[in-house]
Amino acid sequence: MSPREPGGQGRALTSDNPRRVAFDVLRAVSADDAYANLVLPKLLSQEHVEGRDAAFSTELAYGSLRMRGTLDRVIEVAARRELSTIDAPVLDALRLGAYQILCTRVPIHAAVDTTVSLTREAIGHKPAGFVNAVMRRISQRDSHAWMDALATGAQAADLALEYAHPEWIVAELDAALGTPGELRDALGANNIAPQVHLCARPGAIDAEDLADAVSGRVGEWSPYAVYLDGGDPGDIGAVADRRAHVQDEGSQVVASLLADAPVTGSDERWLDLCAGPGGKAALLGSLAALRAATVTAVEVSPHRADLVKSAVAGLPVEVVLADGRDPGFADDTFDRVLVDAPCTGLGALRRRPEARWRRKPEDVTELAVLQRQLLERALRLVRPGGVVAYVTCSPVIAETREVVEAVAGDRELIPVGPLLPSGMTGAEVGSCAQLWPHRHGTDAMFAALIRG
């Protein structure tokens, strides 16, 4: 039986490299803690998997990683033994197979047969019988029947199962949303691959011209955003010659909040205290160039500092390798300061398929300490009358509002409402901004503007 692409309508594959690549990605993530978005392109190119086959590999790898918790619950029941007793490579093969049965239109017989063949080829003959039996048991129910069978009646647990999120993340998102009735939409949005957004660098190219050049669409919120409908951004001339870069529109919006916030007096020295890999530094650098200002971009990781250097080449941005908690600048030096703090990244789960299963609740506590220290330093480095933007790509309250409340104390919060793009409803929490994938099509970026 030749494996076929989802829907059973694609051409028969001459070899099953697409599934093998997806399996190898799962192995790299489970065994080596690799990042799927870094491993997958390398493997696709190494195995010469292209076009629709590459799209199929991507769907299988990212989908299986994203849905892991739910697939594991199904596999455990179907295997009639605890997950911890299944060898890791066999478990990864089963995840790939279960994903095809439950979440794609790959015909069941193809999903079963190819998973058994893949097991034989990549792992060995011995576990093939077990994999065959488990796959057949999984295929006896569709995804709805499995959800019904595994449901507990507890709302958070059942949503966690249905939308494949750890239960603690469901609780964090629920708390951050604050409004009832949206949780399903928020969870569902994390399971849809995001559209690629470009930032047309101000002063270098207009969003309209860039949209024409790439057959894309001008963004809804940021004046610099262009939505790309397909293709490789690396092939775009304006990206290659640094008139544009890939950047989520939400990141553009929060960087613009800092640039647009009112300051009194001088407006020449801007600071990005956590700059790597440099997307916001590039946008701020472009805006600074138009306003005769300069940007100092601090980054603690040497590799990421190099990425910043490359991103800001040609812009009035100086890159400094230092710890943002003590970067060596005098107090009251800067007019505008960005603290785009290291965070759990739970606002960008759409683009990191394995991240939700890797993060732990204790990460929030650890990161909140660093976040507070960075914001404390930023508030010393900004001059009176200047502004600090505290930003995260996480909506978790302990990383956002609680950090601002704890560190800013009695300082003035500049309301973001008048500075947000017009029509961007549902983006304000008190004086701060909280964007959402399901509301705005952006990552769930948080921003607070604090007066220096």
Ligand X SMILES: C[S@@+](CC[C@H](N)C(=O)[O-])C[C@H]1O[C@@H](n2cnc3c(N)ncnc32)[C@H](O)[C@@H]1O
Give all strands (DSSP E) within 152-220, no chain letters: 196-200, 217-218
310 scored as a contact of ligand X (CB under 6 A): no
Pick the catalytic residue from 103, 274, 393, 432: 393
| 177 Cβ neighbours under 8 A, 6+ residues apart | 183, 186, 395, 436
279 binds ligand X (CB under 6 A): yes
Contact flags string 190-229 toward ligand X, x per CB under 6 A: ----------------------------------------
Token representation of residue 295? 């940007």
Q: Write each residue from 153 to 172 as x if it is in contact with ligand X (CB under 6 A), else as -, in one continuous string.
A: --------------------
Among 18, 97, 342, 347, interactor with ligand X by CB under 6 A: 342
Rule CB under 6 A: choose which of 30, 58, 100, 251 binds ligand X: 251
User: Does residue number 285 form part of the binding site for ligand X (CB under 6 A)?
Assistant: no
CB of residue 365 vs ligand X: minimum separation in angstroms?
Answer: 16
Asked if 249 interacts with ligand X (CB under 6 A), we say no
Count, residues in the chain: 452
Cβ–Cβ under 8 Å, residues 445 and 392: yes
Please select the residue that binds ligand X; options are 16, 158, 306, 323, rule is CB under 6 A.
323
Task: Assess 340 for contact with ligand X (CB under 6 A).
Answer: yes
Backbone angles phi, psi at 431, to 5 degrees: -85, -5
Judged by DSSP in three states, 289 sits in helix
* 321 in contact with ligand X (CB under 6 A): no
Distance CA 227, CA 282 (A): 18
Query: Rounded to the nearest whole angstrom, what is the least distance from the CB of residue 17 to ligand X in the complex?
Result: 34
Least distance (Å) between residue 239 CB and ligand X? 15
Instruction: Copy the structure tokens of residue 94.
Output: 């089963």
- Residues 288, 304: Cα–Cα separation, whole Å: 22
Q: Hey, what are 128's tokens? A: 């093939």
What is the four-CA torsion angle of 228, 231, 233, 239, rounded to 10 degrees? -80
Q: Is 413 in the site for ligand X (CB under 6 A)?
A: no
- Considering CB under 6 A, how many residues would be counted as binding ligand X? 18
Residue with smaller CB distance to ligand X, 123 or 339 = 339
At residue 443, the 3 state secondary structure works out as: coil
Which two tokens mark 59? 């769907």
In angstroms, give the least distance from the CB of 372 to ligand X. Answer: 12
Taking the least distance from each CB to ligand X, the nearer of 123 and 298 is 298
- Mask: binding to ligand X, 355-374, rule CB under 6 A, as x and -? --------------------
What is the C-alpha separation between 316 and 302, in angstroms, rounded? Answer: 20
60 binds ligand X (CB under 6 A): no
Choices 58-66, 77-85, 144-152, 272-280; region in contact with ligand X by CB under 6 A: 272-280
Contact 256, 288 (CB under 8 A): no
Q: Which of 402, 407, 412 is nearest to 377 (CA)?
A: 407
For residue 432, indicate whether it is catalytic. Answer: no
Nearest approach, Cβ of residue 307 and ligand X (Å): 8
Smaller CB separation from ligand X, 76 or 272: 272
What residue type is 15 in one-letter code? Answer: S
Q: Report the alpha-carbon distance of residue 330 to residue 318 in Å, rounded.
A: 16
324 makes contact with ligand X (CB under 6 A): yes
Does 375 participate in binding ligand X (rule CB under 6 A)? no
In angstroms, the CA 429 to CA 405 distance is: 13
| Token pair in block for residue 11 | 């051409």
- Contact flags string 287-306 toward ligand X, x per CB under 6 A: -----------xxxx--x--
Q: Which is nearer to ligand X, 25 or 281 (CB)?
A: 281
Between CA 177 and CA 184, with CA 183 as vertex, the angle to 5 degrees is 160
From 95-103, 169-177, 204-212, 270-278, span contacting ligand X (CB under 6 A)? 270-278
H or E segment at 270? strand 269-272
Q: Which is nearer to ligand X, 89 or 278 (CB)?
A: 278
Written as one string, the DSSP assignment of 378-411 is HHHHEEEEEEEEEEES---GGGTHHHHHHHHTTS
Angle (nearest 5°) at CA 328 between 326 and 332: 95
* Residue closer to ligand X, measured from CB, 261 or 298: 298
Q: Which is nearer to ligand X, 43 or 287 (CB)?
A: 287
Give the nearer residue to ligand X in terms of CB position, either 304 or 358. Answer: 304
Give catalytic residue positions. Answer: 393
Contact positions vs ligand X (CB under 6 A): 251, 274-280, 298-301, 304, 323-325, 340, 342
